[in-house]
């Protein structure tokens, strides 16, 4: 039901955008058969992942990569036109990942249960630093079950031939069009945003399309609240996503105000990455405990045992460190990009080497910052 909700609302907003001439995504209105096929196809009916309607129909019609076979230099990859890439290697790799994830989850999940974080004896007798370490380990052991389910769902779609995303710079096929996670990026994330960008990727894209890009005010808060409602009615979901709002605002403030001071040398950058990795992992674990516990009582008990320290610290950081509104940041970026593009254009015209590839890059940058 959660996946079908994503698909129905995605199609609805895409059709809405076509009628208002905001985006031209549909070549034609879907027929009843195409609509039900997109929502209820056997590959994604149980665990998804959600995909674009256009990508799905292109796959059904046998042209899944015609709009995705351009290399980074804007040239058509001849290999993609001559051969249908085989998913066998990628499916085997993803099934191996599923096996390892399931093995890790079944072998260690009972060693570090999340419920122990709210055990009275554990809280009373364990030093705080040990509680922090145990929190990280207990939440680390819960992630492999998500790795298993989402990677298996991705492998099922790939085995059917769905999920091809063109070729990389080395000419190797990419099967990550509907991938839902990037495990190494999750475990090595150095910011809250990087973690969220690599976790439940297709849901993040859906939330961005239907909420973040459309909400005129408080986009971050609205997106987190919609995510909580989409997950269900358990109070733990709302505690997690409300906490996520505060941590996201604090992380954004720190990144804008502190990170520039550590970019002067590789050593400083490495120190910053280590510190932010540890802070991100602890913040994520602290945030998602209610998501696992689900109930209000145990969740608040856990936060009280930590004296709500991360909530308080994040609120203070968000207040103390100023962050310019998004529209002002975009305006500054736009004004910074425009002169450089104009100077580049004049220079190239004087030399007579303004190529089509450079034109496409220029237009892409202008589109990103809303100049055109």
Q: Is 16 annotated in the active site?
A: no
Q: Of 288, 310, 309, give the one whose Cα is nearest residue 299.
A: 288
- 302, 294 Cβ separation under 8 angstroms: no
Residue 275: C-alpha distances to residues 140, 225, 285, 320 (Å): 18, 29, 16, 20
Name residues whose C-beta falls within 8 Å of residue 344's C-beta, 6 or more positions apart in sequence: 362
Spatial separation of the C-alpha atoms in residues 108 and 141, rounded to whole Å: 6
Annotated catalytic residue, options 54, 165, 185, 231:
231
Q: Of 336, 326, 340, 246, give the one whose Cα is nearest residue 287.
A: 246
Q: Is 200 annotated in the active site?
A: yes
- 201, 176 Cβ separation under 8 angstroms: no
Counting Cβ atoms within 10 Å, is residue 83 exposed (0-12), middle (13-18) or buried (19+)?
A: exposed
Beta bridge partners of 37: none
Annotated catalytic residue, options 117, 158, 198, 200:
200
Q: What is the DSSP string of 98-154?
A: HHHHHHHHHHHTTTS-GGGGG-HHHHHHS-HHHHHHHHHHHHHTTHHHHHHHHHHHH
- 151, 118 Cβ separation under 8 angstroms: no
Q: Of 183, 194, 195, 189, give the one whose Cα is nearest residue 278.
A: 189
Residue with tokens 């150095």: 190
Spatial separation of the C-alpha atoms in residues 254 and 276, rounded to whole Å: 10
Output 126-132 pairs: Cβ under 8 A, ≥24 positions apart: 131/305, 131/306, 132/282
Catalytic residues: 200, 231
């Amino acid at each position: 039901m959660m996946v079908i909700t994503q698909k129905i609302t995605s199609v609805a907003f895409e059709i809405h955008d076509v009628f208002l001439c905001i985006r031209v995504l549909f070549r034609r209105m879907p027929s009843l058969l195409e609509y039900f096929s997109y929502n209820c196809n056997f590959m994604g009916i149980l665990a998804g992942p959600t995909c674009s309607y256009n990508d799905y129909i292109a796959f059904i019609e046998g042209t899944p990569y015609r709009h995705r076979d351009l290399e980074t230099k804007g040239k058509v990859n001849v290999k993609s036109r001559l051969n249908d890439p085989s998913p066998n290697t990628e499916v085997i790799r993803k099934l191996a990942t599923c096996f390892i994830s399931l093995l890790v989850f079944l072998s260690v999940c009972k060693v570090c249960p999340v419920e122990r974080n709210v055990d009275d004896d554990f809280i009373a007798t364990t030093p705080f630093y040990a509680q922090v370490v145990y929190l990280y380990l207990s939440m680390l052991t819960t992630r492999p079950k998500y790795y298993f389910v989402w990677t298996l769902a991705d492998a099922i779609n790939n085995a059917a031939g769905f999920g091809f995303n063109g070729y990389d710079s080395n000419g190797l096929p990419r099967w990550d069009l509907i991938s839902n996670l990037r495990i190494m990026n999750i475990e090595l994330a150095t910011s809250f945003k990087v973690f969220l960008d690599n976790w439940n990727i297709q849901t993040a894209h859906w939330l961005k399309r239907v909420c973040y890009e459309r909400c005129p005010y408080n986009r971050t808060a609205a997106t987190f609240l919609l995510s909580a409602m989409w997950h269900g009615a358990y109070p733990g979901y709302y505690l997690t996503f409300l906490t996520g709002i505060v941590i996201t605002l604090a992380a954004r403030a720190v990144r804008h105000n502190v990170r520039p001071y550590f970019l002067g040398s590789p050593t400083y950058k490495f120190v910053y990455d280590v510190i932010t990795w540890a802070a991100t992992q602890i913040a994520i674990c602290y945030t998602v405990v209610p998501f696992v516990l689900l109930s209000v009582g145990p969740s608040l008990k856990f936060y009280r045992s930590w004296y709500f320290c991360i909530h308080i610290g994040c609120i203070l950081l968000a207040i103390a460190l100023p962050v310019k509104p998004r529209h002002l940041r975009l305006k500054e970026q736009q004004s910074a990009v425009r002169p450089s593009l104009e100077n580049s254009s004049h220079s190239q015209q004087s030399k007579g080497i303004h190529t089509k590839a450079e034109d496409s890059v220029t237009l892409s940058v202008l589109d990103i910052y809303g100049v055109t």
